[in-house]
C-alpha cells in the first residue's frame, strides 16, 4: 500500500491515493466504496478489503479511529457551511482530522474554490437527494436525450472546475456508460450501473439494516433481524431483573460480598461501643 503524508504532515499508509483513483481510467480495475460513521464500521470495511469510505465530515475522527488505511472522503455540505469561506474552512478541518478528500454537491464556484487550494474535491451529479425537488421527486436523472445532454454538460463543467472525481447517483446505466467513456473524471457509481471506476453502496443497505433497501442496492446480510433479536433480548433481561427485585430474588448469596464472622463482630462492637460513649 502507498505511503503518504497526510494533511498535517504525519506519515500514513492508505489503500489508494487520489492519483491511484484518477489512474483507474481505462485500466479495467474497479474499487469499492461504502459509508461509515463509527470506528466499528470503518474497521469492518478495512477488514473486508474495501478501499474507500465516505462519511459526514463530523464523523472523520471516529472513522479514522477505526481504520488508518481506507481512503476517506468527507461530505462537507451538512455542517452548516453557508459561504464558500465556510465550505473551505470545513474542508480544511476534515482534511486535518484525517480525510483524504472532500465531496460537495454545491455549485461549480464552490468546487473551483476548493480545487484552487489544491484540495482533492469530488462533485455529486445525477440525482442529488437534497435537490430532489428540482427533479420532481426521487427518480433517475438523464432518462431523456435532453436531460442526459444537460447532465453531460454538468460533468464537463465539474471537470473544468477542478474536481478529480464525481459521485454519479441514479443515472441510467446506458447513459452512465457513455459518460464514463468520455469524461476525465473518476466516476463513482451509486445506482448508476457497472460502468464506473468505483462502485458505491451504503453500508446500511449492504448489511440489511435499512428499513427499505433501494432498488439499486443489494443486501448481503440481515442485521436488522439481529438488531430486533438484541432489542427483544434486552427487554427480556430487564424484565427478569425487575421481577427479581420485586420478589426478592436478587441478589442471591452468590452475588454478595462477605466478611469473616469475627471481623463483623468486631465491627459491630466498635459501633455499639461508640454509641455507648455518646
pLDDT > 70 fraction of the chain, expressed in percent and rounded: 97
How high is the pLDDT of residue 278? 43
**Quick one: pLDDT band at residue 277, thresholds 50, 70, 90?**
low
169 is catalytic: yes
How high is the pLDDT of residue 162? 98
Q: What is the mean pLDDT of residues 106-122?
A: 96
Cβ neighbourhood burial of 7 (10 Å; 0-12, 13-18, 19+):
middle
Cα angle 210-101-15, degrees, rounded to a multiple of 5: 80
Superfamily of domain 3-201: Phosphoenolpyruvate-binding domains (3.20.20.60)
Residue among 111, 158, 105 nearest 132 (CA): 105
User: Residue 154: CB partners within 8 Å, gap ≥ 6?
Assistant: 125
Give me the DSSP letters along 11-76. EEE-S--HHHHHTTTTT---EEEEE--SHHHHHHHHHTT--EEEEEGGGHHHHHHH-SSSEEEEE-
More confident residue, 212 or 114: 114
Within the chain, strands assigned E span 3-5, 11-13, 31-35, 52-56, 71-75, 101-103, 121-126, 165-169, 186-190, 198-201
More confident residue, 212 or 59: 59
Residue 131 has pLDDT above 90, yes or no: no
**Quick one: pLDDT band at residue 276, thresholds 50, 70, 90?**
low
Q: Is 103 left (phi over 0), alpha (psi -120 to 50) or beta?
A: beta
Q: What is the mean pLDDT of residues 143-150?
A: 96
Q: Rounded distance, CA 172 to CA 16, Å? A: 28
Q: What is the mean pLDDT of residues 101-124?
A: 96
Q: Which residue has the cell 466504496?
A: 33
How high is the pLDDT of residue 52? 98
Residue 29 has pLDDT above 50, yes or no: yes
Catalytic residue among 51, 167, 169, 209: 169
Q: Parse the chain into domains and list their residue ranges.
A: 3-201, 227-277
How high is the pLDDT of residue 81? 79
Share in percent of the chain as helix, strand, coil (round to 5): 45, 15, 35
Query: Which of 80-84, 150-154, 218-222, 268-272 has the lowest average pLDDT?
Result: 80-84
More confident residue, 83 or 152: 152
How high is the pLDDT of residue 77? 81
How high is the pLDDT of residue 267? 96
Computed over every residue of the chain, the mean pLDDT equals: 95
Amino acid at each position: 500500500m502507498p505511503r503518504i503524508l497526510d494533511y498535517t504532515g504525519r506519515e500514513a499508509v492508505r489503500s489508494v491515493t487520489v492519483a491511484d483513483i484518477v489512474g483507474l481510467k481505462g485500466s479495467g480495475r474497479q474499487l469499492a466504496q461504502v459509508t461509515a460513521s463509527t470506528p466499528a464500521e470503518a474497521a469492518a470495511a478495512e477488514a473486508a478489503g474495501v478501499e474507500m469510505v465516505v462519511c459526514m465530515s463530523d464523523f472523520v475522527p471516529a472513522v479514522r479511529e477505526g481504520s488508518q488505511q481506507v481512503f476517506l472522503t468527507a461530505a462537507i455540505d451538512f455542517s452548516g457551511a453557508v459561504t464558500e469561506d465556510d465550505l473551505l474552512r470545513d474542508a480544511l478541518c476534515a482534511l486535518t482530522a484525517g480525510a483524504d478528500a472532500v465531496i460537495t454537491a454545491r455549485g461549480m464556484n464552490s468546487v473551483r474554490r476548493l480545487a484552487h487550494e489544491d484540495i482533492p474535491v469530488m462533485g455529486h451529479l445525477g440525482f442529488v437527494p437534497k435537490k430532489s425537488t428540482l427533479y420532481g421527486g426521487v427518480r433517475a436523472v438523464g432518462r431523456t436525450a435532453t436531460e442526459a445532454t444537460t447532465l453531460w454538460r454538468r460533468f464537463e463543467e465539474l471537470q473544468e472546475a477542478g474536481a478529480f472525481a464525481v459521485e454519479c447517483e441514479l443515472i441510467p446505466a446506458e447513459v452512465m456508460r457513455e459518460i464514463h467513456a468520455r469524461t476525465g473524471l473518476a466516476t463513482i457509481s451509486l445506482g448508476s450501473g457497472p460502468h464506473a471506476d468505483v462502485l458505491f453502496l451504503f453500508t446500511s443497505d449492504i448489511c440489511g439494516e435499512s428499513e427499505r433497501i433501494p432498488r439499486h442496492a443489494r443486501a448481503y446480510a440481515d442485521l436488522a433481524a439481529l438488531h430486533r433479536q438484541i432489542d427483544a433480548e434486552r427487554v427480556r433481561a430487564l424484565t427478569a431483573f425487575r421481577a427479581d427485585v420485586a420478589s426478592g430474588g436478587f441478589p442471591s448469596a452468590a452475588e454478595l460480598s462477605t466478611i469473616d464472622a469475627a471481623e463483623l463482630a468486631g465491627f459491630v462492637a466498635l459501633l455499639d461501643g461508640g454509641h455507648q460513649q455518646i
